[in-house]
Amino acid sequence: MITLMAAFVLVLQIAMVGQRWLVTNIRVFAAQSFLLAGIANTIAYFNHAPHLYIAAFLTFALKAVVLPIVLERLVKRVDIGQEIAPIVNVPLSLLISGGLTTVGYIVAASFHHPEESASPASLGRNTLAVAVSLFLIGFFMMISRRKAIMQVLALLSLENGLFLAAISLTYGMPLIVELGIFFDLLVAVMVLGILVYRIQETFDSMDVTKLSRLRG
């Protein structure tokens, strides 16, 4: 079941790659984060890892609710709901993300262990593959999208991949670390948000390809 949810997460990620509407992208991201929270909960339930509940809750609160709202308000603020033309066109990007998924599986395949049957690794293997693919695809989205805010979003989805990896491999990091990470995430989004806003008002556009004055 976890594997299934993980698969959904991956699908959503690829959907993001395919999706060109900014607001929709944000919503998809929210859904993805929601699913992640679900996964976290289930793992917490099955493997009696109480601290994961907190992680799950934080994920839900932050990634599925707060951040999307913040981002959407930012989008409203700088009113750019319109189309964004990616650097790599959609079919090709879908193809590439497919390739990246296979890379993810290849990488995950190397995680053989004597205690193959033991639960963490077994759910590890598959979800890890998903996690790695999430990471890579998120990374790829940062490269392929022009809009600053999309890059932020991509970065966040990439973080999602990490979160998935963490919970699936090791039932999440130690709690303090987990908290620290979330705190950083929050601040990061704030900082990036402000930067995006500054970019918008300085360059009258969100297109980061315009940011190419510093050379050599």
Partner 1 sequence: MLLFAILAIPLAAGAMSFAARNRRVMEAINLAGFTALFLLAAALAAQVLRAGSVSMWNGFLAADSLSALVVLLTAFVALACSVYAVGYFREDERNHVFEANVRGAAAISSLRKYYSLTPLFVFAMLLVALANNLGVMWVAIEATTLASVFLISFYGRATSIEAAWKYAMIGGVGLSMALFGTILTYYSAHHVLETETLAGLNWSVLVLNAAQFDKTTMKLAFILILLGYGTKAGIAPMHTWKPDAYSEAPVPVAAMLAAAVLNCALYGLIRFYVLTTRCLGPQFASQLLIIFGLLSVGVAVPFVLVQKSFRRLLAYSSIDHGGIMILALAFGGALGALGMLLHLTFHSITKPLLFFCAGNVEQHLKTDLFRRAKGGLIHSMPVSAPIFLMATLAVTGIPPFSLFQSEFTILRAGFGGTLLWPPILLIILLVVIFIGFLVHIAKLVLGADPGLPPADSCPWKKYSLIGLASVVVILGFWLPGPLFELIRNAAQVVGGER
Partner 2 sequence: MNALAGYFFFGGLLSYAMGAIASLITGRSGRLARVLGCGFALAGALLETVSSWVALFAASDAHWEIPAGVPFLIYSFRLDALSAYFNLILSLLAVAISIYSFGYLRPLDEKRTVGVLGFFYNLSLLSLTAVFTASNAFFFLIAWEVMALAAYCLITFEHRQETTRQAGVLFFVMSHAGTGCLLIGFLLLNSLSGSLDFSSFAATSSKLTGAWQAAVFLLFLAGFGVKAGVIPLHIWLPEAHPAAPSNISALMSGIVIKTGIYGLARVLFEFLGVPPLWAGTIVLAVGVVSALLGVLYALMEHDLKRLLAYHSIENIGIILIGFGASLMFITLGHPRLAAIALIAGLFHTLNHAVFKCLLFLGAGSVLHGTHTRNMEKLGGLIRRMPQTAFFFLVGAIAISGLPPLNGFVSEWLTYQALLAGFGTTEKLTRVLFPVAGSLLALTAALAATCFVKAFGITFLALPRSKEADDAQECGFSMLTGMGLLAAVCVALGLGATSFLPVFDGITEHLMGVRMSGELVAAGGWVLTSGSARGGTVSTAGIAAMFVILSALPALLWLLWGRKGHRHIEPTWDCGLPGLTAENEYTAFAFSKPLRMIFAALYQPRREIQAEYEVSPYYPTAIRFDSEIESPFEERLYGPLQKKILAIATRMRGIQAGSIHAYLAYIFVTLIVLLLFGVRP
| CB contact at 8 A, 130 and 164 | yes
Residues 104-123 within binding reach of partner 2 (CB under 8 A): 106-107, 109-110
Q: How far is the CB of 62 from partner 1 (least distance, A)?
A: 15
Binding mask 95-114 for partner 1 (x = CB under 8 A): ------------x--xxxx-
Among 78, 88, 96, 142, binds partner 1 (CB under 8 A): 142
Angle at Cα 62 formed by Cα 30 and Cα 133, nearest 5°? 55
Binding at 66: pick from partner 2, partner 1, none (beta carbon under 5-8 Å per type): none
Among 173, 193, 207, 209, binds partner 1 (CB under 8 A): 173
Cα–Cα distance measured from residue 214 to residue 17, given in angstroms and rounded to the nearest whole number: 29
Measured from the Cβ of residue 2, the count of other Cβ atoms closer than 10 Å reads 19
Binding at 159: pick from partner 1, partner 2, none (beta carbon under 5-8 Å per type): partner 1
Cα–Cα distance measured from residue 163 to residue 166, given in angstroms and rounded to the nearest whole number: 5
**Which amino acid makes up residue 148?**
A
Choices 22-30, 45-53, 61-69, 140-148; region in contact with partner 2 by CB under 8 A: 140-148
Considering beta carbons, is residue 22 or 131 the nearer one to partner 1? Answer: 131
Residue 139 binds partner 2 (CB under 8 A): yes
Residue 117 binds partner 1 (CB under 8 A): no
Binding site residues, partner 1, CB under 8 A: 49, 51, 107, 110-113, 115, 120, 124, 135, 139, 142, 148, 151, 155, 158-159, 162, 165-166, 169-171, 173-177, 180-181, 183-184, 187-188, 191-192, 194-195, 198-199, 202-203, 208, 211-214, 216
Binding site residues, partner 2, CB under 8 A: 87, 103, 106-107, 109-110, 136, 139-140, 142-144, 208-209, 211-216
